[in-house]
Amino acid sequence: MNIKVEREPARTIVSLSGQLDTLTAVDFEKEVSALLNSDEHQIVLNCEGLSYVSSAGLRLLLTLQKGMMAKGGTLILEKVQSPIMDIFKITGFSSILTIK
């Protein structure tokens, strides 16, 4: 999985590509921790290149969502592809996450 972080004045865009699974979750978890410990108040996850999300990836997305809410921030997922959206719908994450 590739992770690209772009900081803009009002938000941080994190572009994900490849598979977010047990093997790649470690790298994403480092990014999640760094973002939650920063002053970021709006994080946008660009999921255009994301091809798969495992339960480990879902756990990290939930951690990021809860952490952002706790500090009064927002997490937005953009460009979610159909197979990933299906996973979100089946697991109920589509009602927890803000998806545009």
Confidence band, pLDDT 50/70/90 cuts, at residue 32: confident
Please check the confidence at residue 8 and state whether its pLDDT lies above 90. yes
Architecture of domain 2-99: 2-Layer Sandwich (3.30)
The mean per-residue pLDDT over the stretch 65-82 comes to 96
Identify which of 44, 42, 50 has the alpha carbon closest to the alpha carbon of residue 87: 50
| DSSP, res 79 | S
Count of residues making up the chain: 100
pLDDT digits (tens, 9 = 90+) for 59-70: 999 999 999 999
Percent of the chain with pLDDT over 90: 92
Please check the confidence at residue 35 and state whether its pLDDT lies above 90. no
- Name the strands in the sheet holding 12-20, side by side, starting at the edge strand that comes first in the sequence: 2-7, 12-20, 42-53, 74-78, 98-99
The mean per-residue pLDDT over the stretch 35-58 comes to 94
75 Cβ neighbours under 8 A, 6+ residues apart: 43, 45, 64, 65, 68, 69, 97, 98
